[in-house]
Structure formats: C-alpha cells, structure tokens
Structure 1
Amino acid sequence: MKAYIFPGQGAQFSGMGLDLFEKSIEAQDLFRQANDILDFSITDIMFEGSAEDLKQTKVTQPAVFLHSVILSKVLGADFKPDMVAGHSLGEFSALVANKTLSFEDGLRLVSQRAQAMQKACELEPSTMAAVLGLEDELVEAVCSETEGIVVAANYNCPGQLVISGAYQAVKKACENLKERGARRAMILPVGGAFHSPLMEPARKDLAAAIENTKFSNPICPVYQNVSTFAVTDPEEIKKNLVFQLTAPVKWTQSVQNMIKDGASEFVEVGPGKVLQGLVKKIERSMQTSSAGVE
C-alpha cells in the first residue's frame, strides 16, 4: 500500500514550484488561481523571492501547500493514494489530495490559518526548540516541571522531539534538558509557539473558518496529527483539524499506525525530503521516495 505524505512549514526554498509552472499548463492555471484567491502574487515570491521573503508565515504556509497540492494534481493518474498524512500544515495538503477539501477551500483555510497564527505569535514572545537524544517521557516530564508554558509539540521520530511555549520557559527547559542528558536542545528560528496552548486565539479563529467550509467524504483515509489513526469521517476530520493548532503533532505515532495498517511505501509530495528521513528513523526498512514530474 502506498502512503503519500506532505511536509509542513520549514520545507520551503527559493525557486520552489517554478519547475512545475514551466512544465505544466494545469500547474500554471492553479498558480494563477492562487494569486487571485490570496490577493497577492505568491508566485513572484515562490519563484524569485529570497529565503527571507519566504520566511513570513503568511507566505510560507500557502507556498508549501501550493507546491505540494499542485504537484499531486500534476501527477494525474499516477497519484493513487491508499492513505495520506501531513506534518502540521501538510495535513491541509493531504486533505486536498484525498478530496476532503477543494483546492480553493484548502488554500483559503491555509491562508486564514497562517494569519491567525501570525496574530497569536505577536501576543507573547514565544518559540520552539528541538531536543535530540532523550526519551519522549523524560522530555514531557521536564516540560511539566518547568515554570511557565512549555509543552512537547512535535513527536518527529524516536529521539527527536520539538518543544514549544513562552520564550523564557522554553529557554529554561532547554537548560534542564541538557542537564538531563539531551544531546542537543536548541531554540529554532520560528515565529512563535506552534502546537502549544499559546495558539488558542488562532484555534478559535480557525474553528470558525473550518465550520463554514465544505468537507467531503475522502477517497482514502487521512492519519491526522491529533488522533494518529485512519480517519474518513468529515466531521471527525474537522474536529481534529481545529485541535491541531494547540495539540502536538504526533508524527511518529501516525507513521507507526500507517505501517501497522499496511503501508509498504511512503512518497513525499512537496518541497524537501525531511519526512522521508523521519520515516526511515521510525522504520529503517521502509521504502521512501519523492514524488516528481518528468
């Protein structure tokens, strides 16, 4: 069984999507449609902008989404998912790919999500940090012992966890984690505390937008960050998508469940190869590849 996986924020690069635009009329139509929906020329930033230009949340999230979704559409008949999953933002790409959401609605939600998150980030100095070389349970324990808001946010693979919260609390947790034997505990260059309680204002904004969007029955199950199991019910998908902003991304558990349910190959759709690397760390024998257009 083939599992298609979709990356999140951080996978962007300057020039992303230009090869798709040059090779496919369908891609050109979709990119132009995206410029109209967003009301600014995201293609100019994606194709010619600097890494700095691409780093703004309101640009990054739609850019990664567009690269992934347009690539999946250009694959045409070759794109036959048995199951899908996306890492954080990538979950929206996965939901367009499995036909739960339309391209237009998916892009509108991603744009609203990015703006809501940006607004939440500006309310309080907050950040995220990568922690390497410790058991998940120990990282969780140190977070709960640390004063202030700091929580486990991304369970990326065994021995690699990202924590998130108020800036001082994350900084203090990093010091405590190093004392407890972490190989590394380093602050990440991100705009705020994604997947933590500090995203509550964004969750409320997004919940209203999701409630007003049509969700259809998917062509295959999605393994969502919040639940980690196969989901096909549109109402349940909606609920999980809302909670995703303040809940951790359980990537390790999602991949393990996909393998348990029969996934024999993981194909990454979108910029970069980060998710393939994580899959290999979760199950070394698993076959992985990048989706591409000839």
Structure 2
Amino acid sequence: MTTRVAFLFPGQGSQAVGMGADIFASSPAAQRVFAAADDALGFSLSDLCFNGPETTLRDTINAQPAIVTVSLAYLAALQEALSPGEPSSWSTPLTPAFVAGHSVGEWSALPVAGALDLKETILAVRERGRLMEHEGTVCPGGMSAVIAMDEEPLRQVCQEATEQALAELAGATTHPGQGRVIIANYNAPGQIVISGEKRALELAGELAKARGAKRVIPLAVSGAFHSPVMEPATQGLAKTLAELELRETALPIIANIDGTPLTDPSRLRQELAQQVASSVQWVKTIQYLVEAGVNTFIEIGPGQALAGMVKRIAKGVTIMNVGNASEVAKVAAQLREQDVLA
C-alpha cells in the first residue's frame, strides 16, 4: 500500500513551559527557526517558550506565535534528521500530500504549503493573538468541552441558551458576541467544544448537563474563540491579511471552516480571517483526508491532542507524534524504514 502523509499542527492550549528547548539544543535547523521568530518579533520568544513564566506564555498574544514557532522548529528538525548533511525544506525530503492545523495550527501550515515565509507568519500570528485577546477583554467569555453529547441536541442547547441570554439582556447589547454561544470545535465523536459570552456559556453548560451530557469542562482560555465574540477580530485580521502577499500554495491546506482543500490566496485570506469566529470542523477535516487516501498522520508540535482526535475519527491509519527531540529521531527512523521519502 502506498503511504500518503498529512502533517497536522496543534492549536492553542498545547503550549507548555519548556517546549522546544530539547530540539533547540540538538538541531541547527530548529535553532534557525527560533532565531528567525525572535528576530521578527524583536524579543526572545524562544526564552519565553523554554523558561516561561507560564502566565506570560499562556497569554493569547504570546501563546499563538509560540505554538507556531515550536511546531515549525520540530518540523525543521524532522526534515533535517531525514537528510543529514543534505539540503532540506519545510516539505522535503518528506513531502506531505496535505497539511492541516487546528485553529492557530492552520497558520503553522502556511509556510509549509508555501503561502507565506516564516517571519511574515509569526508577525501575523502575533497580531491574530492580540486581536483575539482584545475581544476576550471587551466581551468576556470562555469555552467548555462537552463530553458524551451528540451534535444536534447540543446545537439545540446553544440556541436555547442564546435565546435566554439575549432575553435577559432585553436588547441592551453593545457587542456582537453578547448573549451568544455556539458549538466552536467539532473535535471528535463525543468530544465537542462550545464557546460564547460568559452568561450564555453558563446557561448552555447547565442545559447540557440537565439533558444528559456526561461532563462539561471549562477550558483554560482567555476568551470565547471560534464564536461570535470574535467577530470584530475578523475585521482586523482581514486588514492584516490584505497587507500580506499570500502565494498560491504548493500543497493543499484543509480549511477549518468547511474541511475542504485550499490553495488559492483569495480563499486563504477569507478562511484565515473568518476562522477565528467560526466553528473548527476537525472531524470533517480528518474525514476528507482519509477519503483522499491519507493513511499516515503526523502531528507536529507540542502535545498529542490531535493524535487522540484522529484515533477517534479514523480507523486503521498510522499516527505519529513529533513533539520532542526523541520523537524526532524515532519518527525519522520509522519513515526511513517505510521508504516514504520524496
């Protein structure tokens, strides 16, 4: 059977103090990624990744560029390990058929696909984080994982919670996200995340538990990402994207919004701007990749959340993780044995 590979990049919540320090110590290619990010931002993002403090790293404005940088550092190290002493790039010698990322992970995919260079990506991601953090301050809200509840009843819960929250406000809204809650992440069967303004989110959590959800778990995030609370951020992000020269991609990026492949710069701009206020269709993303013949998924970056999701969505596929230096060496050895290099 022909091996067909997809690279997957994690989103916010995967950050942890110390991430990337091991690969920085052992890989010149990873060192170049961290140096480029530090140079672009004008401060030592690498030191923040390696040493914290955790509260600063967790801030959305820092967490997002940090996750993208660390993910790309591990990818650079993997490609370097696959071709010792030879030239390598984001997509050689191991060339994926597709790339995809969960939320901010979609930005990690941009340099790999050839849409933007590393420095442009890091600067734009920091602005994305700033815009999203701002809306989280203007219209406080959050996100909660709802365990063991199907999509349709949960969608109904969100609609009813929104109606009740808006009724309590009696029309006194000053922000498009006020009183609203939606399904934000379709992560895997039985693993759905809701997101919204604080009161609406509370009401939805109460309704979900009353109607049979096994658990409702608040997530440690600074705002209601992928909900109407983020709608003003889409406008600021659209302006940032308009100033960037996105190129047609050499590799298809699977869109968070609808789980379809993107290569065209104009569609990419629309996806990247609207994505912050739209649901992440991760189940559709993985289903599309499986139907397109992908049988090997490599999660590249901190944590193993995406690998767990893939296991719940797709059966009979190979899943690898590249999230520390030992995994870089292990996966490189596996790939050489399987003879899947370009």
Q: TM-score, normalization: structure 2?
A: 0.83
Match for 1:127 among 137, 142, 146?
142
* Alignment pair present for 1:56 and 2:59: yes
- Show the counterpart of 1:65: 68
* Alignment pair present for 1:83 and 2:114: no
Indicate if the aligned counterparts of 1:154 and 1:248 stay in contact, CA closer than 8 A: yes
- Show the counterpart of 1:267: 298
Gaps of 5+ in 1: none
- Show the counterpart of 2:41: 38
The within-5 A match list for 1:238-249 is 238-249=269-280
How many Å apart are 1:240 and its aligned residue?
Answer: 1.0
Q: How much is the aligned-residue C-alpha RMSD, in angstroms? A: 1.2
CA distance in 2, matches of 1:170, 1:186: 11
CA distance in 2, matches of 1:217, 1:23: 33
Equivalent residue of 2:277, what SS? coil
How many Å apart are 1:123 and its aligned residue?
Answer: 0.2
C-alpha distance after superposition, 1:92-131 (max 9, x if no partner): 0011111111111111110110011111111022111110
CA distance in 2, matches of 1:29, 1:221: 25
How many Å apart are 1:243 and its aligned residue?
Answer: 0.8
CA distance in 2, matches of 1:27, 1:286: 28
CA distance in 1, matches of 2:32, 2:189: 41
Whose radius of gyration is greater, 1 or 2? Answer: 2
CA distance in 2, matches of 1:273, 1:30: 21
- Show the counterpart of 1:254: 285
CA distance in 1, matches of 2:94, 2:106: 17
Structure 2 letter corresponding to 1:84: V
Indicate if the aligned counterparts of 2:147 and 2:215 stay in contact, CA closer than 8 A: yes
How many Å apart are 1:284 and its aligned residue?
Answer: 3.1
CA distance in 2, matches of 1:124, 1:12: 24
Equivalent residue of 2:328, what SS? coil
Indicate if the aligned counterparts of 1:227 and 1:240 stay in contact, CA closer than 8 A: no
**Percent identity over the alignment?**
38
Structure 1 letter corresponding to 2:273: V
Indicate if the aligned counterparts of 2:13 and 2:220 stay in contact, CA closer than 8 A: no
Match for 2:125 among 110, 114, 120?
110
The within-5 A match list for 1:1-294 is 1-76=4-79, 77-146=92-161, 147=164, 148-291=179-322, 292-294=327-329
Worse-superposed segment, 38-47 or 105-114:
38-47
How many Å apart are 1:145 and its aligned residue?
Answer: 1.0
Indicate if the aligned counterparts of 1:171 and 1:187 stay in contact, CA closer than 8 A: no
Indicate if the aligned counterparts of 1:150 and 1:169 stay in contact, CA closer than 8 A: yes
Structure 2 letter corresponding to 1:109: A
C-alpha distance after superposition, 1:20-63 (max 9, x if no partner): 21112232232122112112211111111143332111111111
How many Å apart are 1:91 and its aligned residue?
Answer: 0.1
Structure 2 letter corresponding to 1:99: G
Structure 2 letter corresponding to 1:101: L
Worse-superposed segment, 41-50 or 253-262:
41-50
Indicate if the aligned counterparts of 2:226 and 2:275 stay in contact, CA closer than 8 A: yes
CA distance in 2, matches of 1:133, 1:24: 42
CA distance in 1, matches of 2:151, 2:210: 16
Gaps of 5+ in 2: 80-91, 165-178, 330-342
**Count of aligned pairs:** 294
